[in-house]
Structure 1
Amino acid sequence: MAAREATRIALSLPIERSLPRRVEATRAALDALTAAADYGFAEITTAATYEIAVMYRELGGALLRAPRPRGLDALEQEQYALLLEEQAFPFEESAIKAFEANLARLDQGIWNESVQRSAAALTEMVPARYGKHERRDLRYASPG
């Protein structure tokens, strides 16, 4: 519920006022999800880890979609967009790390819906690393 509440806080102008409320709500949700992830059951841990990644990804995306101040010229708009991208980047990196933590659970033999969804998210976010598809030769050469 805390995660849902955090994502409902829209970023609005001036961002300096709305962003701290959103970040604080996100931190509260992350604390609850981290406690759940530490519980020790694979199904709960992977689901909580997936939700942690989604929270980070959503906050980064919200920054990128944040409204732009009116009256900026083209250069100022570009600089403002770059500033938002710089602020969003650490959240996207944290999302990737959390998704990767779930994917690393494959080494423990854990493959469930949350791990699958993490793998799919990584394919979208880091296609150069996770979006590769092996091509196999389907021909069979007989030994004789």
Structure 2
Amino acid sequence: MSEDQHLKQYSVIVIDEVHERHIHTDFLLGVIKCLLKHREDLKLVLMSATINIDLFSGYFDDAPVIKVPGRLYPIELEYKPIKRDDSKAERLDPSPYLKIMQLIDHKFPEKERGDLLIFLSGMSEIMSVVEAAKIYATNTKKWIILPLHSALSVDEQDK
């Protein structure tokens, strides 16, 4: 914001888990509230499963609220216990994530398209899973693996 205090390159700002109320998030909300006075075209999306709607809507001048009910599609849980190795491995074992991809491949017809989003906690975990997933994708020809993390260039992120 030091170079572009109105964030002109952005049209939407999304804040997830806004109910957690951390000082950084609260500060960000204050900055965005000021910014919205100068940018009527800027959209703000606040997301939370347990949000205090009146508090946040009121703070943003009775902003409109879109309520999305719980699961809009059937959920089927499958439990596959992970074999634990007591030795401390340097890299995350990507096999549970590959098993998820295999399960999806076996459960759904080849012509049915969809997406899989995997959240991981750090760069080494991301690289470990991406490396294994790319090998799986090459072998099956059913997946496109696109990592997303802070070290990627803007061009890579835009894929």
With the shorter chain as reference, the TM-score category is under 0.3
Using the size of structure 1 for normalisation, the TM-score is 0.26
- Of structures 1 and 2, the one with the larger relative CO (CA 8 A, separation 6+) is 1
**What is the TM-score with the length of structure 2 in the denominator?**
0.24
Higher strand share: 2
